[in-house]
Structure 1
Amino acid sequence: MTDMNLYEQALEHMERTVNVFSMRVPAPRRVQYKDSFVYRYVEKTVHQALVQKLARMVSGLHAARLLLDAGFVQEQAALQRILDEITEDISFLSFSVILGESTPSHTRYLEDFFQEEFDPNDVAVSSKDRAMVPRKKIRAYLDRCVNGPKGSSKNLDASRTVSKAYSGYVHAASPQIMDMYGGAPPRFQMRGMHGTLRQAEHRADLWNYFYRGIMACCFTAKAFGDEELFVSIRNFEAGFLRATSSDYQSNEWP
Structure 2
Amino acid sequence: MNPLYNQALTNMEHTVHVLAERVPPPVRVPYKDHFVYRHVDQSLNQALVQKLARMVSSLHAAHLLMDHGFIQEQASLQRILDELQEDITFLTFSVIFDNKTQLHQDYLDAFFEEEFDADTALASTQKRPMIPRKKIQAYIARTEGAAMDPSRGIELARTISKAYSGYVHAASPQIMDMYGGKPPKFHLRGMLGTQRHKEHRADLWNYFYRGIIAFAFVARTFDDEPLFAKIHHFLREFERLSGKNYASQEWDSL
Q: What TM-score range do you get, normalising by the shorter chain?
A: over 0.9
CA 31–156 in structure 1, closer or farther in 2 if over 3 Å, else same? same
Give matches, 1:15-30, under 5 Å.
15-30=13-28
Aligned residue type for 2:241: A
Separation in structure 2 between the aligned mates of residue 71 and residue 150 of structure 1, nearest angstrom: 35
Residue number in structure 2 paired with 1:48: 46
Residue number in structure 1 paired with 2:70: 72
1:95 aligned onto 2:93: yes
Aligned partner of residue 190 in structure 1, secondary structure: coil
Separation in structure 2 between the aligned mates of residue 198 and residue 123 of structure 1, nearest angstrom: 41
C-alpha deviations, 1:79-104, integer Å up to 9, x for none? 10000000100011111111222100
Aligned partner of residue 147 in structure 1, secondary structure: coil
Separation in structure 1 between the aligned mates of residue 228 and residue 182 of structure 2, nearest angstrom: 51
Residue 143 of structure 1 contacts residue 155 of structure 1 at CA under 8 Å; is this kept in 2?
yes
Paired positions, count = 252
Residue 118 of structure 2 contacts residue 125 of structure 2 at CA under 8 Å; is this kept in 1?
no
Give matches, 1:59-208, under 5 Å.
59-121=57-119, 124-126=122-124, 128-148=126-146, 151-208=149-206
Aligned residue type for 1:198: R
Residue number in structure 2 paired with 1:5: 3
Q: Which TM-score applies when normalising by structure 2?
A: 0.94
Give the CA deviation at 1:245: 3.8
Separation in structure 2 between the aligned mates of residue 153 and residue 162 of structure 1, nearest angstrom: 14
Structure 2 unpaired stretches of 5+: none
Residue number in structure 2 paired with 1:210: 208
Separation in structure 2 between the aligned mates of residue 84 and residue 135 of structure 1, nearest angstrom: 11
Aligned residue type for 1:235: H
1:244 aligned onto 2:236: no
CA 122–75 in structure 1, closer or farther in 2 if over 3 Å, else same? closer
Aligned partner of residue 96 in structure 1, secondary structure: helix
Aligned residue type for 1:115: E
